[in-house]
Amino acid sequence: MDKQKAIQDFKALDEKITHFQSISGLADWDQKVMAPKKGRAQFAKAIGTLRTEAFKISISDEMGRLIEELNSDSVELDEMAAAQVRERKEQYDRFKRIPAEDFKEFAILTAQANDAWEHAREHNDFDHYAPYLEKIVGFRRKFAELYGYEAHPYDAVLSEFEPGLMVAKLDPIFAKLRDTSVTLLERIKKSPNQTPSEIFNQKYPIDKQKEFNRYILPIIGFDMEAGRLDETVHPFAQTITIGDVRLTTRYLEENVRSALFGTIHEAGHGIYEQNIDPKYEGTVLAGGTSFGIHESQSRFLENMVGRSRAFWSYFYPRLVEYFPEQLANIGEEDFYRAVNTVEPSFIRIEADELTYNLHIMVRYEVEKALMAGELEVHELPAVWNRKMEEYLGIIPATDREGVLQDVHWSFGGIGYFPSYSLGNLYAAQILNTLKKEVPGYEAAIAEGNFAPVMGWLKEKIHKYGSLYRPNELIVKVTGEELNADYLAEYLEAKYSEIYKLS
Amino acid sequence: MDKQKAIQDFKALDEKITHFQSISGLADWDQKVMAPKKGRAQFAKAIGTLRTEAFKISISDEMGRLIEELNSDSVELDEMAAAQVRERKEQYDRFKRIPAEDFKEFAILTAQANDAWEHAREHNDFDHYAPYLEKIVGFRRKFAELYGYEAHPYDAVLSEFEPGLMVAKLDPIFAKLRDTSVTLLERIKKSPNQTPSEIFNQKYPIDKQKEFNRYILPIIGFDMEAGRLDETVHPFAQTITIGDVRLTTRYLEENVRSALFGTIHEAGHGIYEQNIDPKYEGTVLAGGTSFGIHESQSRFLENMVGRSRAFWSYFYPRLVEYFPEQLANIGEEDFYRAVNTVEPSFIRIEADELTYNLHIMVRYEVEKALMAGELEVHELPAVWNRKMEEYLGIIPATDREGVLQDVHWSFGGIGYFPSYSLGNLYAAQILNTLKKEVPGYEAAIAEGNFAPVMGWLKEKIHKYGSLYRPNELIVKVTGEELNADYLAEYLEAKYSEIYKLS
């Protein structure tokens, strides 16, 4: 066996798939952000063709043969090559089980489902979206059977987003998170020291919001020469290459927080990708290592940084310059407390740090039931509303504010949502280590210097791309495996102080 | 032989290549219009991979076998299938001669050369661009040898843009066009009845220009739900699908004509593509039939329509509303004469209808010499300037205004420029027929009704896509082969009237 030749051939295949994904990533972004209406249906077919081609290469006989050759005990690979083989092997083993025709049909379906979802959301018309969603659930259930699983069909799709994640592991973690959250929420509701959230009940002109969002991005570490910021119904971050990472946000005149924290959140994803070591460019390693770790970076930037005293110590005086009328007579401390208002609400991406996880519980439970065949798509709106009432005490008046709010299912991402709460758990654990290793980071932020915190994240997490598995990485960074206590402690400490809880 | 199976397989391959080209078209557009700087070099590699893949399919053994099977006398194909086979066969026969490695290298080179050209143009630095251009010329000469040719190496690349076009055919046509243009130009220069072109020596605010450009596009027939208008250094039209055709233009405060006629020109290309019969979507026929015919549509809309009395009879009062200060006290007739000012100038895309063809002569002759190895890239600026003086009587002060002005060479389009003058020739011939068949079209335009003229073009030309060859199409539309007299007659009549020549 010619090992060097095998490595070379493997790397060429890896690069080809990566190139195709880079381009289909751009194509997706374009359809959501730029493309005119009338071309979308036809272009969805073209994207389907490209995805199918990448898919075929990733499960080709050549790929199988090379993985087998390079995965043998007798072959020693450097750390990078070994990680490339590991990632492609996982995909190969998973995708090999899906018939090419199903894959293509699924790719076309999800491209079209995005349009259907946008339409349904705009017109509050769940029935318009339901037939697409039914097909998507059908495919995901079929894929779960094809992937195989030990205990629960949901396990099979969960591990697409977080390798090794299972219902058996999540159920107790999420149950605990739910219980502590509900208890803390009750204490907050009863507190006589409520936050002055009414300062957000004003109009904040959209052009000024845009300017402010563009102003903060480079300061917090997002490189505008290696990315863009655009607008979409549902904010997202899309990597084209390490040097081209695109964010979107959504401006609402009556809700200045929406774009602001949405942008910071997506910037957390984007900075992670921009900071990956360029030596991984064009390989499967040129991306975040899991959805959970990715969300840890976006949620960290949005909440642990973006909703911190230090952050607003620097940015609040600047924000006042953009909105002098709206913020007249409002002090920095009041503003800090207001951005940390805890209040049950309908829209997940605008939820506070505490109730956010309860939104995830709703999704986790309905996805689990959909995958198990215990829930039908047409029952979703009713079940969604019932769970919202149970966990958050509120019922959405419309599906637009309820089951139709999120884009994820339209691209087939059943199994994605748990990553958000996992991201919150990781983020709190990472924060705990950061505080020990970079004690001056908050003082620097208060001076507008994000280099200590972002530099640390880059060195510890970002630059590695997908070199390490999420479970390896969290141990490497924090010295221990996922520990759900940190988030509970963080939330207890933060809100006890803000709401002056006893 | 199973004919149905062969047709089905052929159509699937045709569709796959079309899908890949649709996506690489989007990728090209994005790099020029949207992409941030830092990602471009890496993304150029990804585009190279995609193009190479499409190229490989177009010259695959399977394609060769299917073309051979379907091209046989014993197989009867419907008109559409026969045209698809004809187009793919021509590509197969041409591309089959180019080694895959050359093709990939050329694709990467041209993606990078676009950036180099943009930089060189911006900084008036021909030397920065020269190494890329040398490589591009080297490739084009190599391709000419591989394609083969009878008389002149330029013939081999000319026919990429206009099937069957040759130096032996062009030389006499262009010589005659040059002579009549130079003579007419001399008469115009001596006319005592010059046009009031000084009305353009004013500033026209860019935001108002943008509004006006967006205002006219749908009226002249460009469907904004099936396209976009953006900004680039060099205006172009890019088809993604029939339902997604994107135009770009360039706004100059001190030159209102630049964006205006640039937009109308690109709209001519765009409307052609938007009007193609949807049944050709996803096939090789879903595009204009040649560059010459394409330019006939853009030049027709820009000049025969956009610089006509009827056009400004409708739009001039509207233009005055956008620019009341600039156009105060200027009458419609003066404005009409001013937009038809003949004056030697440096920039081709801003040239008047008459001198335009002389710009093409400069390019035609240097390209011919480059392809014959009679001219080196480093000699280009000097030769360019000498020819400009010879034909137009003016010398560019900088390469930015001279040899660096056009994008075409950076994408490898040596052989493209003659299509522009060919387009002018076709356009005048088409106009002659239109006048006979739709006598009321000008009266309709004067009322803002473009349906008669655009509907006729759609029915006679646009809807067919590439079903007919350019030489077949021109006969089908006008009843005769390319006849260079119509353009000479058109120019003579138009300018005799405007300049009151004797």
The first and second tokens of residue A125, run together, are 């018309």
Of the candidates A36, A46, A244, the beta carbon closest to that of B19 is on A46
Does the distance separating the beta carbons of A50 and B223 come in below 8 Å? no
Does the distance separating the beta carbons of B36 and A226 come in below 8 Å? yes
**Binding site members of A for Zn(2+):** 265, 269, 295
A73–B contact, CB cutoff 8 A: no
Q: Which ipTM was obtained for this model?
A: 0.90
Q: Exposed, middle or buried: residue B321 (CB in 10 Å: 0-12, 13-18, 19+)?
A: exposed
User: In 3D, which of B359, A360, B107 has the Cα closest to residue A368?
Assistant: A360
| ∠ CA B377-B382-B388, rounded to 5° | 115
Count other Cβ atoms within 10 Å, centred on residue B258.
21
Tell me what pLDDT residue A1 has: 58
Q: In whole angstroms, what separates CA B454 from the centre of its chain?
A: 18
User: In 3D, which of B97, B88, B108 has the Cα closest to residue B27?
Assistant: B108
A interface test, pick of B17, B42, B224 with most A CB neighbours within 10 Å:
B42
Does the distance separating the beta carbons of A224 and B42 come in below 8 Å? no
Catalytic residue among A118, A160, A266, A302: A266
Residue B247 in this model has a pLDDT that exceeds 70: yes
Measuring CA to CA, how many Å separate B196 from each of A223, B331, B332, B337? 49, 11, 12, 7
Tell me what pLDDT residue A233 has: 81
**A266 catalytically annotated:** yes
Does the distance separating the beta carbons of B23 and A244 come in below 8 Å? no
B41–A contact, CB cutoff 8 A: yes
DSSP-derived pairing of the beta strands B237-241 and B244-249:
antiparallel
Task: Give the whole-angstrom CA distance, residue A15 versus residue A8.
Answer: 11
DSSP string for B15-84: HHHHHHHHHHHHHHHHHHHT--GGGHHHHHHHHHHHHHHHHHHHT-HHHHHHHHHHTSTT----HHHHHH
Mean pLDDT of B378-384: 97
User: In 3D, which of A373, A340, A409 has the Cα closest to residue A132?
Assistant: A409
Mean pLDDT of A339-361: 94
**What is the nearest CA distance from B23 to chain A, expressed in angstroms?**
7
User: In 3D, which of B37, B126, B14, B139 has the Cα closest to residue B414?
Assistant: B139
Q: Residue B245: helix, strand or coil by DSSP? A: strand
| ∠ CA B198-B204-B210, rounded to 5° | 135
Does the distance separating the beta carbons of B225 and A49 come in below 8 Å? no
CA nearest A244 in B: which residue?
B39
pLDDT-derived band at A100 (thresholds 50, 70, 90) equals: confident
A225–B contact, CB cutoff 8 A: yes
A89–B contact, CB cutoff 8 A: no
Does the distance separating the beta carbons of A35 and B240 come in below 8 Å? yes
Task: Give the whole-angstrom CA distance, residue B447 versus residue B385.
Answer: 44
Mean pLDDT of B219-236: 95
Task: Give the whole-angstrom CA distance, residue A417 versus residue A406.
Answer: 10
Task: Give the whole-angstrom CA distance, residue A472 versus residue A33.
Answer: 36
Of the candidates A45, A49, A243, the beta carbon closest to that of B39 is on A243
The full 3-state SS of A61-103, as one line of letters, equals HHHHHHHHHHCCCCCCCCHHHHHHHHHHHHHHHHHCCCCHHHH
CB B234 within 8 A of CB B407: yes
Task: Give the whole-angstrom CA distance, residue B200 versus residue A369.
Answer: 69
pLDDT-derived band at B164 (thresholds 50, 70, 90) equals: confident
Does the distance separating the beta carbons of B19 and A45 come in below 8 Å? yes
% of chain B exceeding 90 in pLDDT: 93
Mean pLDDT of B459-485: 96
Tell me what pLDDT residue A394 has: 95
Does the distance separating the beta carbons of B42 and A243 come in below 8 Å? yes
**Strands of the sheet with B237-241, listed across from one edge:** B227-231, B244-249, B237-241
Lowest pLDDT segment from A248-252, A479-483, B202-206, B347-351: B347-351
Residue A415 in this model has a pLDDT that exceeds 80: yes
B interface test, pick of A11, A20, A31, A34 with most B CB neighbours within 10 Å:
A34
Q: Residue A374: helix, strand or coil by DSSP? A: coil
A35–B contact, CB cutoff 8 A: yes
B57–A contact, CB cutoff 8 A: no
Task: Give the whole-angstrom CA distance, residue B114 versus residue B129.
Answer: 9
Beta bridge partners of A230: A248
% of chain B exceeding 70 in pLDDT: 100
Using CB atoms and an 8 Å cut-off, which of residues 240-269 of chain A contact chain B?
A: 240-245
Alpha helices in B438-483 (DSSP H): 441-446, 451-460, 470-478
* Residues A14-61 pLDDT 10s: 999 999 999 999 999 999 999 999 999 899 999 999 999 999 999 999
Catalytic residue among B160, B266, B353, B367: B266
DSSP-derived pairing of the beta strands A237-241 and A244-249:
antiparallel
**What is the nearest CA distance from A115 to chain B, expressed in angstroms?**
15
Residues of chain A in contact with residue B281, where contact means CB-CB under 8 angstroms, are: 42
Task: Give the whole-angstrom CA distance, residue A192 versus residue A181.
Answer: 19
pLDDT-derived band at B1 (thresholds 50, 70, 90) equals: low
DSSP A123: T
Task: Give the whole-angstrom CA distance, residue A119 versus residue A29.
Answer: 18
Of the candidates A50, A227, A228, the beta carbon closest to that of B23 is on A50
Q: Which residues contact B318 (CB under 8 A, 6 or more apart)?
A: B212, B215
The full 3-state SS of B69-128, as one line of letters, equals HHCCCCCCCCHHHHHHHHHHHHHHHHHCCCCHHHHHHHHHHHHHHHHHHHHHHHHCCHHH
Tell me what pLDDT residue B2 has: 83
Q: Tokens 């394409």 label which residue?
A: B294
**What is the nearest CA distance from A231 to chain B, expressed in angstroms?**
14
B37–A contact, CB cutoff 8 A: yes
CB A443 within 8 A of CB A310: yes
User: In 3D, which of A380, A173, A448 has the Cα closest to residue A292?
Assistant: A173
Measuring CA to CA, how many Å separate B54 from each of A22, B60, B280? 16, 10, 19
Residues of chain A in contact with residue B245, where contact means CB-CB under 8 angstroms, are: 39
Mean pLDDT of B103-107: 87
DSSP A281: T
Q: Tokens 């002098």 label which residue?
A: A324
Mean pLDDT of B271-280: 98
| ∠ CA B4-B6-B12, rounded to 5° | 105
When the pLDDT of each residue in chain A is averaged and rounded to a whole number, the result is: 95
Residue A74 in this model has a pLDDT that exceeds 90: no
CB A244 within 8 A of CB A22: no
Count other Cβ atoms within 10 Å, centred on residue B259.
22
A interface test, pick of B38, B45, B101, B228 with most A CB neighbours within 10 Å:
B38
Helix (H) or strand (E) holding B230: strand B227-231
Does the distance separating the beta carbons of B34 and A34 come in below 8 Å? yes
B interface test, pick of A14, A18, A19 with most B CB neighbours within 10 Å:
A19
* Residues B6-22 pLDDT 10s: 999 999 999 999 999 99
Domains of chain A: 3-151 (no CATH), 167-498 (1.10.1370.30)
Of the candidates B39, B50, B241, the beta carbon closest to that of A42 is on B241
Helix (H) or strand (E) holding B190: helix B167-190
Lowest pLDDT segment from A6-15, B72-81, B141-150, B286-295: B72-81
B50–A contact, CB cutoff 8 A: yes
The first and second tokens of residue A482, run together, are 């996922």
**What is the nearest CA distance from A223 to chain B, expressed in angstroms?**
10
Does the distance separating the beta carbons of B46 and A241 come in below 8 Å? yes
Does the distance separating the beta carbons of A50 and B20 come in below 8 Å? yes
CA nearest B42 in A: which residue?
A241
Count other Cβ atoms within 10 Å, centred on residue A262.
23
Does the distance separating the beta carbons of B26 and A30 come in below 8 Å? yes
Task: Give the whole-angstrom CA distance, residue B210 versus residue B229.
Answer: 10
Task: Give the whole-angstrom CA distance, residue A288 versus residue B190.
Answer: 70
Residues of chain A in contact with residue B50, where contact means CB-CB under 8 angstroms, are: 19-20, 23, 50
CA distance from start to end of chain A: 69
**What is the nearest CA distance from A274 to chain B, expressed in angstroms?**
10
Task: Give the whole-angstrom CA distance, residue B341 versus residue B334.
Answer: 10
B56–A contact, CB cutoff 8 A: no
CA distance from start to end of chain B: 69
> In degrees rounded to 5, what are phi and psi of residue B405?
-70, -25
Task: Give the whole-angstrom CA distance, residue B398 versus residue A118.
Answer: 51
DSSP string for A454-465: HHHHHHHTGGGT
**What is the nearest CA distance from A20 to chain B, expressed in angstroms?**
7
Count other Cβ atoms within 10 Å, centred on residue B456.
18
B201–A contact, CB cutoff 8 A: no
B27–A contact, CB cutoff 8 A: yes
User: In 3D, which of A363, A355, A397 has the Cα closest to residue A383?
Assistant: A363
Mean pLDDT of B250-274: 96
CA nearest B243 in A: which residue?
A39
**What is the nearest CA distance from B240 to chain A, expressed in angstroms?**
8
> In degrees rounded to 5, what are phi and psi of residue B222?
-90, 125
* Residues A279-301 pLDDT 10s: 999 999 999 999 999 999 999 99
